[in-house]
Amino acid sequence: MTNLLSLYYHRARLEIRLLLRNRNAVVFSILLPIFLLVIFGSVFNKTKLGNTNVSFAQYFVAGLLASGLLYSAFQQVAISIPEERSNGTLKRLVGSPMPPSVYFAGKLAASTFTYIFQAIALLTIGHFSYGIHLPGSATLWLDFVWISVLGLAASSLLGIAFSNFAKDGQAASALAAPVVLFFQFTSGVFFVYANLPKWMQDIAAVFPLKWMAQAMRGVFLPKLFASQEVGHSFELPKAAVILSVWTLAAALLCRFTFHWLPKNET
């Protein structure tokens, strides 16, 4: 058991080191939400939500944190696994005595690392440059933590499941990036969710990003804004259930569909 934990630790370190040496990953997974905050924050600096004195940046940062979960876990994993399947990393690992869980633990660690970096950067820059208010109570911070943990679990497992559909890293980028973008537009990240057409809301409501973003708004927007939501509430318990169901479903999907070797090498 200690041996296994030590393997998790060393694989995690290796994954994080590899991540930081990969320029594409640094720009597209790690820094992207921070660029988005700076751009949107600067453009909509004076814009307020409705007739309130809450800034659009305050709304937007919740969406960006939720997007960060998708970038750091879903997109990063969905691209790096096909890349490693096509360049022989997985073949070498599966031919070694490495317990398979070590590989997935490494991926999860790299995603967690990316997300923590993004969250700290978004909140620090947001607070000092765009006047974003940070959660004012321990309960809200606790909500922030469980939303992040569940979001990371669901997103990274969905990323692993998604990795089965691309034959290499480039194909995976081309597949994953539009998926992430689609959900950002339809799940209340770039636009206010309540203002979207009903059909768009209905589609987004099936998938995790809508619930991660809404739950994050529950942490970052004042209580009275709950009435602006479609369900007149931030629906945190419902978000917890839906994210858990996605986590379980994705885990099952991975369990039965994950393959280590390219299809023509078995």
Partner 1 sequence: MRTGKTECSQFAGEKLSRVTEVGAIDIKGLTRSYGDFVAVSDFDLTVVAGECVAILGPNGAGKTTVVEILEGYRHRDGGEVSVLGLDPAHPNRQWRQKLGIVLQSANDLNELTVREAVEHFARYYPSPRDVDGAIELVGLTEKASTRASNLSGGQRRRLDVALGVIGRPALLFLDEPTTGFDPEARHIFWDLIDRLKHEGVTIVLTTHYLEEADALADHVVVVTRGRKVADTTPADLGSRSKNLVSVRWLEDSELKEQRTAEPTKFVRELAARFTGEIPGLEVVRTTLEEAYLELVNVSEP
Q: Quick one: which segment of 89-97, 124-132, 133-141, 152-160 binds partner 1 (CB under 8 A)?
A: 89-97
Q: Which of these, 133, 99, 126, 119, lies nearest to 41 by C-alpha position?
A: 126
Q: Is 255 in the site for partner 1 (CB under 8 A)?
A: no
Q: Is 91 in the site for partner 1 (CB under 8 A)?
A: yes
Q: Is 84 in the site for partner 1 (CB under 8 A)?
A: yes
Judged by CB under 8 A, the residue of 89, 129, 164, 201 near partner 1 is 89
Is-contact 246 152, C-beta < 8 A?
no
Q: Is 263 in the site for partner 1 (CB under 8 A)?
A: no
Q: CB 26 → partner 1: shortest distance, Å?
A: 12
Q: Which of these, 156, 161, 170, lies nearest to 24 by C-alpha position?
A: 170
Return the number of the residue (68 or 106) whose C-beta is nearest partner 1: 106
Tell me which H or E stretch contains 83: helix 76-86
Is-contact 101 107, C-beta < 8 A?
no
Burial environment of residue 129 by CB neighbours within 10 A (0 to 12, 13 to 18, 19 or more): middle
Q: Is 3 in the site for partner 1 (CB under 8 A)?
A: yes
Return the number of the residue (168 or 203) whose C-beta is nearest partner 1: 168
Cα→Cα distances 127→35, 55, 188, Å: 15, 12, 21
Q: Residues interacting with partner 1, by CB under 8 A?
A: 1-3, 6-7, 10, 14, 17-18, 21-22, 84, 87-89, 91-92, 94-99, 261, 265-266
